[in-house]
Structure 1
């Protein structure tokens, strides 16, 4: 059988440092298999409809179409991709809005005790902002999931005006992940024959100009890769994914997450998690629901994030509305489940800078409508 790999994480330092890309090390193993998770089984649904392991609790921090508690700001519809930022003794959670037109993004500001002290808009006038990514210089890349969509660089504090980054290409963007070592940004594309891209800025920290490349490799699911320049990132005459012969195709690119030399990304069309080893220049299939023994607990793979313990948290679009984790021991298990919301999807998982709180949204809530989104916080004994 073809060798599969899974990135095992060994993180040294604080949670905040790990979330910024601390030491992770690669090891070869079989695909992650179902097993008992490190937090034990899920309990009964709480008052918010969340089934959590023992010791964890939830609260709702925002609802679409309603004023955020303690503020005069109305939370956006269809909350999607998100990220957290340190803000003095507190933090900020940024969340996209996946509606078209008038998508954009908003932010929640928390004080040191976790109380919401402000909510505000950071991006307006854009279309179907799905996922995105955090930069090392603490901006939020908000991606438009429409044909010939743009990436917008936004200020989580809402002070500086958002900037459209045309050099990063025009295509159906999904997520982004910054690699500060190679000084590139990886990008996924959410179409059935999409590609995996990297953008190299002319000057690191300035995304106004640079080179867009697409990944190339053979027809398999693992092996060495090469990168080729996309001749016309605007996609004006020919779609970016069709400009380079031999570009590797991926079935519905979704979440994208980087840590210490490796970029994970997911594809929803085949329920796979991929591992790109930037140092070695190789691509490996890290998880595939068709390769697990028995029933696969993780399906509908979507947004991803990681923790200091080396756990990878993967949100489901559909499936049974779970966030599953894949441990460094190659065990895949549910971490939480949302009951009573079959017409929704889980989006935007991101940890607070200290790693003690997990934020995410149910995009369409209990009614299945974009106006019924719910943004949650889960607190508990996350592994350090």
Structure 2
């Protein structure tokens, strides 16, 4: 038996997470996903923006690093990274981190109901290497510092209230965050080769000023059951948070994180995996692993930021690879959704769907120049599945 076949058999021998509720239509993921024909069809030729899209989809450039955002006087930040969308009356807002050190921070672009840009502004300043983050149910943006002993900052997408550093959420090399309103917890990834997967349980839901930081405890297999254990010293000094909990499961380069309907997905770039946790059953397994692709070439490598749609589709961005965003469907098919040509020195970051699910925002962090000053933020519009 070939190694890939053996590994896949071992994974499939583990538990399989089943999803309830209307969002996921009762679908059961039989991880890991395999290449196939995606729901949107093949990619067409590159458009004027260098973006290859399925039929029926179009792209536009929203902002470029170092240049004023169209229709505003605001200069867009360098190295755009993690992002999220928020409803704003009849329009919406897209927020984006800046992964530079020092300075970092985050900015926002505001749109009308027709999609016209109506404003752009800074929502966080003076922080370091703000990589990913996450949206909260109370409509704030958690911006995470990807540096040793980094912090999480809670910010206001409207730019009215001052950002607040949330020390209780721990000091480590933060990546992404995903809020779970059912268990009233926030999940956190750590970008270390031996990082942990955490959850923060606030003392009062909606207030992140105090609470308990915990690490996931599980075996070394790629599927099984898990528990949570308190991190004794979330400050991470002198002992790093990832080495404080006995039995904590280690993940190779934690990146994106996304929650929906009793499930949290997160990615690890060191081994090109997408993990899924069934939070109701306290079990985990692989949603994707490039080494477990049983035929053809693995479509997704350099896994990074992740988001999802109401249809149950997951959208996973590549850091490198073919500069693609790939879609993973609820019936375990993975396929390219888009590709950016001519930007091999960059990475795709910050995928987020507009509140009505008809537009996808994301960035090429270094654009065609390969430099943090060459970032480009895009919008793709089309018939996304609902």
* TM-score normalised over the length of structure 1: 0.95
8 Å CA contact 1:261, 1:278 repeated in 2: yes
Are 2:26 and 1:58 aligned? no
- 1:308-323 equivalent positions in 2, closer than 5 A: 308-323=310-325
Task: Tell me how far apart the structure 2 counterparts of residues 158 and 205 of structure 1 sit (CA, whole Å).
Answer: 19
Once the two structures are TM-superposed, the CA of residue 221 in structure 1 deviates from its matched residue by: 1.1
Task: Tell me how far apart the structure 2 counterparts of residues 7 and 286 of structure 1 sit (CA, whole Å).
Answer: 10
Deviation per residue, 1:246-269 (Å, 9 max, x gap): 110000000000001110000000
Task: Tell me how far apart the structure 1 counterparts of residues 270 and 110 of structure 2 sit (CA, whole Å).
Answer: 35
Once the two structures are TM-superposed, the CA of residue 3 in structure 1 deviates from its matched residue by: 3.9
- Helix, strand or coil for the counterpart of 1:255? strand
Corresponding position of 2:340: 338
- Helix, strand or coil for the counterpart of 1:27? coil
Task: Tell me how far apart the structure 2 counterparts of residues 7 and 242 of structure 1 sit (CA, whole Å).
Answer: 29
Are 2:375 and 1:373 aligned? yes
Change (3 A) 1:25 1:233: farther
Once the two structures are TM-superposed, the CA of residue 308 in structure 1 deviates from its matched residue by: 1.3
Corresponding position of 2:306: 304
Change (3 A) 1:11 1:74: farther
Task: Tell me how far apart the structure 2 counterparts of residues 42 and 312 of structure 1 sit (CA, whole Å).
Answer: 18
Task: Tell me how far apart the structure 2 counterparts of residues 95 and 276 of structure 1 sit (CA, whole Å).
Answer: 26
Corresponding position of 1:104: 105
Corresponding position of 1:279: 280
Are 2:121 and 1:113 aligned? no
Change (3 A) 1:377 1:6: farther
Change (3 A) 1:7 1:200: same
- Helix, strand or coil for the counterpart of 2:242? helix
8 Å CA contact 2:36, 2:333 repeated in 1: yes
Deviation per residue, 1:325-375 (Å, 9 max, x gap): 011121100000000000000000000000000000000000100000000
Corresponding position of 1:68: 69
Corresponding position of 1:357: 359
Once the two structures are TM-superposed, the CA of residue 126 in structure 1 deviates from its matched residue by: 0.1
User: Which consecutive aligned stretches of 4+ in structure 1 deviate over 3 angstroms post-superposition?
Assistant: 3-12, 22-26
8 Å CA contact 1:10, 1:310 repeated in 2: no
Task: Tell me how far apart the structure 2 counterparts of residues 39 and 11 of structure 1 sit (CA, whole Å).
Answer: 25
Once the two structures are TM-superposed, the CA of residue 383 in structure 1 deviates from its matched residue by: 1.0
Between the two proteins, the alignment pairs up a number of residues equal to: 375
8 Å CA contact 1:32, 1:326 repeated in 2: yes
- Helix, strand or coil for the counterpart of 1:378? strand
Deviation per residue, 1:53-104 (Å, 9 max, x gap): 0110000000000000000000000000000000000000000000000000
8 Å CA contact 1:90, 1:112 repeated in 2: yes
Runs of 5+ unmatched residues, structure 2: 1-8
Runs of 5+ unmatched residues, structure 1: 13-21
Once the two structures are TM-superposed, the CA of residue 245 in structure 1 deviates from its matched residue by: 1.3
- Helix, strand or coil for the counterpart of 2:168? helix
8 Å CA contact 2:191, 2:254 repeated in 1: yes
- 1:1-384 equivalent positions in 2, closer than 5 A: 1-4=9-12, 12=22, 22=23, 25=26, 27-293=28-294, 294-384=296-386
- Helix, strand or coil for the counterpart of 2:177? strand
Task: Tell me how far apart the structure 2 counterparts of residues 10 and 282 of structure 1 sit (CA, whole Å).
Answer: 15
8 Å CA contact 2:29, 2:330 repeated in 1: no
8 Å CA contact 1:346, 1:363 repeated in 2: yes
Task: Tell me how far apart the structure 2 counterparts of residues 136 and 121 of structure 1 sit (CA, whole Å).
Answer: 21
Change (3 A) 1:76 1:7: farther
Task: Tell me how far apart the structure 2 counterparts of residues 311 and 288 of structure 1 sit (CA, whole Å).
Answer: 17
- Helix, strand or coil for the counterpart of 1:149? coil
- Helix, strand or coil for the counterpart of 1:45? coil
Once the two structures are TM-superposed, the CA of residue 2 in structure 1 deviates from its matched residue by: 2.3
Change (3 A) 1:10 1:72: farther
